[in-house]
Amino acid sequence: MKIWQRGTDRYAEEPEYGAAALRFLYETIPGRVLLRAAVDPRVSRWRAKYQKSPKSRKDILPFAERCGVDLTGYDVSQFACFNDFFTRKRENRTDAAEDALIAIADSRLSVWPVSEELVLTIKHSRYTLREVVGGGIDLAPFAGGHCLVFRLAVQDYHRYVFPDAGRIVSSIKIPGELHTVRAISERFRVYARNSRVCTLLETTHFGPMLQIEVGAMLVGAICNHPVTDFARMQEKGYFEYGGSTILLIVPESVQIDEDLIAQTELGFETQVTIGEKIGGKENPC
């Protein structure tokens, strides 16, 4: 899989960890039989229980080596279990201007338009915004805006932040299944089927935003902090083990950096890090 790297202005080949197992689950008849059990959140809870046990410590170094996780600055002996390692904290900074839109997670980013009818077409799957977020949220401000898809791979830092200062208007948790968020699962329309938390934000510089954490296969939990008011770059929460995705829905008035849109149109995701500039307020002139 090729990923666009903004800093080097080139494409990099990124390994897909667990690709063979996913092909078996999604592309073979025996695999699809097992898939029904694999996407049950109870399986992820069982997996999470093991990863919070001291026995799981032995998995940390092999996983870090296999997935290329940089552990510089961490004392691995201080992790009591695999989950401690996977949800490890670090200090995040940004050099972006105060009114810039920033990346909220270390991830692979793609950008998709929201139609005036509030329809999203992400890769080969078509969604209405209403079926993604459920009821109880006014979606009118997002007509004609953009949906930013931050896809976190298992090797990524799995904590995420708020894109701007502001306050939480409402938050809704929607239980569901736990399909992988990779392209192999496109026909399953995962963003409308997977477990997710939909949070309506009122932000200082950009107005209303929707931040939606989407659980994926083997994700033990989506863990959001109980806050009402927040600062830009403040940690919103974290995912337990597994690759996951965050959708950020922004109004039409938010301008997304052109290179991100262009790479999505070419069929490539762009690698971004927390705090990196990805857009800003549209110039009214």
Catalytic residues, by residue number, are 106, 244
Residue 190's nearest CA partner among 114, 240, 267, 245 is: 245
Any idea what DSSP says for residue 257?
P
Sign of CA dihedral 248, 253, 254, 255: positive
59 closest CA partner among 39, 86, 19 = 86
The Cα 84–Cα 233 span in angstroms is 22
Task: Say how far apart CA 96 and CA 247 lie, in whole Å.
Answer: 21
- Side-chain half-sphere exposure of 95, counting CA atoms within 13 A: 1
